[in-house]
Amino acid sequence: MRSLLTGVQAQKASNVLADRLREGILTGALAEGAPLPNERALADMSGVSRASVREALRLLEVEGLVRTRSGRGGGSVPHLPGADMLERSIRLFTRGQRVRFGALLETRSAIEPQLARLAALNRTEEDLARLAQIQARFEDDSVGVSAWTHMNVDWHLAVVVASRNELLIGIWKAVSSLMHEATGLEEPYNLPEVRVAVRRVHRRILDAIQKGDGEAAARRMARHLDAYVAHIKPQAPPDLEV
Amino acid sequence: MRSLLTGVQAQKASNVLADRLREGILTGALAEGAPLPNERALADMSGVSRASVREALRLLEVEGLVRTRSGRGGGSVPHLPGADMLERSIRLFTRGQRVRFGALLETRSAIEPQLARLAALNRTEEDLARLAQIQARFEDDSVGVSAWTHMNVDWHLAVVVASRNELLIGIWKAVSSLMHEATGLEEPYNLPEVRVAVRRVHRRILDAIQKGDGEAAARRMARHLDAYVAHIKPQAPPDLEV
DNA sequence: CAATTATTAAAGGTCAGACCTTTATTGACT
DNA sequence: AGTCAATAAAGGTCTGACCTTTAATAATTG
């Protein structure tokens, strides 16, 4: 008797509505960009109060599934969750779990070589063109350390994007963003010999990507990251938290 | 003149309150498990209405930072976001971005060898004991395919947990959970020769982990996953979406 | 006529207060 | 002691008013 009735648990109205809207958005029934009815109309249509409608919309907003704007012409529009949402939740996870800075390094070292491998296998001509263009910008040695670091980020991002694996790309973006926050972008790119070495290894990695040699791309990227870790690790105390 | 006034943007009351509570929880000022004041009290204390308090709590709930229960003795208690939260958001991301099933396989293949390497370096005696215990259960060949699959999941989870990298562990859990949903756990563990092969490679991986040989552990795990991919890939249409 | 400025309307944001539902505790009655 | 009813404490919901933000429109003016 008891077991028959467990699990019925009256769902909260806002959750029920949020579930429906979420499914609609994820399946595409509610097209991205096409505004939802306003809150009062949703309340009338769904038979729940406006307060509950608002809670449902708030759930979806936090999940990255709608964007809400005030004022005339505002409202809630469906939006597919992207890398920014992933970054937010990975940030919360790392802060909440007190994840070590070293764990971020390990994560990046785990995935970026694979991203390089996939880039070698899946890159398009446009990818190669963009990579070549970014690589060319490295030749200018007159730029400051900040600009150089940004170029470096752009280079890695371009490689990563060429992999065509959206999930790994999203994770990579989140992790490297957290890393850059933690290091304050204070990377060792002021030393001329470091710049020369980075330029050379970047060239070799691109070479492998261009030739479609996934193994070489992965191997070289792994070594490149090991060198980076060797540079950065001594500066960060072992128990640094993000 | 214009530029002086941009960015002031009156924050919503619920967001301000949520931000404060979030910081309190993440910094530990609001201890996990110690219940927050009830909604009416929070409203009085913060000077905003109960509706706004509720919205703030709802934000935090979706972020996995509080758990809320109804009824007497209920209320909202702080809670540090864990792997379950990460899994929810990775699930939303994969569905929203229409991530291919193959991308999940690639992600797992990217991180699990590194997890095995870290396990070899960081495993404790307890980890080894648990792994040995799980390995022993594999010797019993009479179990059904479902039980065998569960054992297999347990084995991989135990390896992964031994790595002591909470971020990679969280990502691994999320990805493998999504994979199992997509495949419906219909894995090829009914064939005796597959079972023998899996048992053997598991043994060799554990061997490397026990010896602290990270390279071997990573290499063997990578091969093991390649074999798994080779088994599973033909069954899944290339454009299968999660 | 064109540029600016006021007005209005449409939406979300907030509030107050009542009432409902769920759940744990307490107490009364076997 | 065990069961069942009453109570209390919390979240959940509803209503309806009002405030604030923002875009569109109308009025004004150089």
pLDDT digits (tens, 9 = 90+) for A5-30: 333 456 899 999 999 999 999 999 99
Q: With respect to residue B210, please indicate whether it lies within any of the assigned structural domains.
A: yes
H-helix or E-strand containing B75?
Answer: strand B75-78
Same domain membership, residue A102 and residue A46: no
Q: How many domains does chain A have?
A: 2
Position A55 in a domain: yes
CA distance between the termini of chain B: 50
Chain B interface includes A171 (CB < 8 A): yes
Among B49, B78, B107, which residue terminates a domain?
B78
User: Are A111 and B111 within 8 A, CB to CB?
Assistant: yes
Tell whether B111 and B66 lie within a shared domain.
no
Helix (H), strand (E) counts: chain A: 11, 2
Give yes or no for residue A185 having a pLDDT over 70: no
The answer to whether residue B35 sits within a structural domain is yes
Given a cut of 80, whether residue A236 has pLDDT beyond it is no
| Strand blocks (E) in chain A | 66-69, 75-78
pLDDT tens digits, one per residue of A26-84: 999 999 989 999 999 999 999 999 999 999 999 999 999 999 999 998 899 999 999 99
Q: pLDDT for A186-195, tens place per residue?
A: 666 677 788 8
B165 CB-near residues (< 8 Å, 6+ apart) = A103, A106, A107, B115, B118
User: Please, which pLDDT band fits residue A2 given cuts at 50, 70 and 90?
Assistant: very low
pLDDT in tens, B25-66: 999 999 998 999 999 999 999 999 999 999 999 999 999 999
pLDDT at A232: 78
Q: What's the rounded mean pLDDT across residues A158-163? A: 97
Consecutive H or E run containing B158:
helix B145-161
| A220 DSSP assignment | H
Instruction: Please answer whether residues B220 and B116 qualify as being in contact, where contact means their C-beta atoms are separated by less than 8 angstroms.
Output: yes
Q: Least CA distance to B118: which residue of chain A?
A: A106
B96 and B72 in one domain? Answer: no
Residues A73 and A88 grouped into a single domain: no
- Position A123 in a domain: yes
Supply the pLDDT for residue B240. Answer: 47
Nearest by Cα to B108 from B234, B221, B203: B221
Same domain, B120 and B153: yes
Q: Are residues B103 and B174 in the same domain?
A: yes
Residues 6+ apart with CB under 8 A from A125: none
B89 in the same domain as B201:
yes
* CB count in 10 Å sphere of residue B34: 8
The Cα-based distances of A188 to A53, A148, A157, A232 in angstroms read 51, 10, 19, 8
Domain range for A113: 83-235
B75: left (phi over 0), alpha (psi -120 to 50) or beta: left
Among the candidates B33, B58, B78, a domain finishes at: B78
- Which pLDDT does position A131 carry in this prediction? 94
Angle (CA) B206-B207-B213 rounded to 5° is 100
Q: Domain check: are B146 and B91 in the same one?
A: yes
In-domain check, residue B240: no
- The tally of CA atoms less than 13 A away on the side-chain side of residue B142 is 0
In this prediction, residue A188 carries a pLDDT of 66
Q: A134 and A34 share a domain?
A: no
Query: Residue A241 falls within a domain, yes or no?
Result: no
One domain, residues A93 and A48: no
Asked whether residue B242 is assigned to any structural domain, the reply reads no
pTM of the model: 0.90
Do residues A58 and A46 lie in contact, with contact meaning Cβ atoms separated by under 8 Å? no
Predicted local confidence at residue B208, as pLDDT: 97
Each residue's pLDDT tens digit, B154-171: 999 999 999 999 999 999
Question: Is residue A242 assigned to a domain?
Answer: no
Residues 114-143 on B with a CB inside 8 Å of A are 114-115, 118
In whole angstroms, what is the distance from residue A229 CA to residue B175 CA?
A: 26
Predicted local confidence at residue A5, as pLDDT: 35
CATH number, position B39? 1.10.10.10
Tokens of B46: 């913060």
Q: What share of chain B is helix, strand, coil (3-state, %, to 5)?
A: 70, 5, 25
What was the pLDDT predicted at A187? Answer: 63
Using the beta-carbon criterion (under 8 Å), do A92 and B59 form an inter-chain contact?
no
Q: Name the one residue in this structure whose structure tokens are 């060319």.
A: A136
B167 and A86 within 8 Å at the Cβ level: the answer is no
Residue A86 has pLDDT above 60, yes or no: yes
What confidence tier does A87 reach under pLDDT thresholds 50, 70, 90? Answer: very high
Cβ count within 10 A of residue B16: 15
Residues 175-214 of B with CB under 7 A from strand C: none
> Of B78, B101, B130, which one is at a domain's C-terminal end?
B78
Residues B190, B129: one domain?
yes
pLDDT at A240: 46
Confidence of residue A234 (pLDDT cuts 50, 70, 90): low
Same domain, B123 and B194: yes
Residue A108: give its domain's CATH number: 1.20.120.530
> Separation of CA B46 and C1' C22 in angstroms?
26
pLDDT in tens, B73-123: 889 999 999 999 999 999 999 999 999 999 999 999 999 999 999 999 999
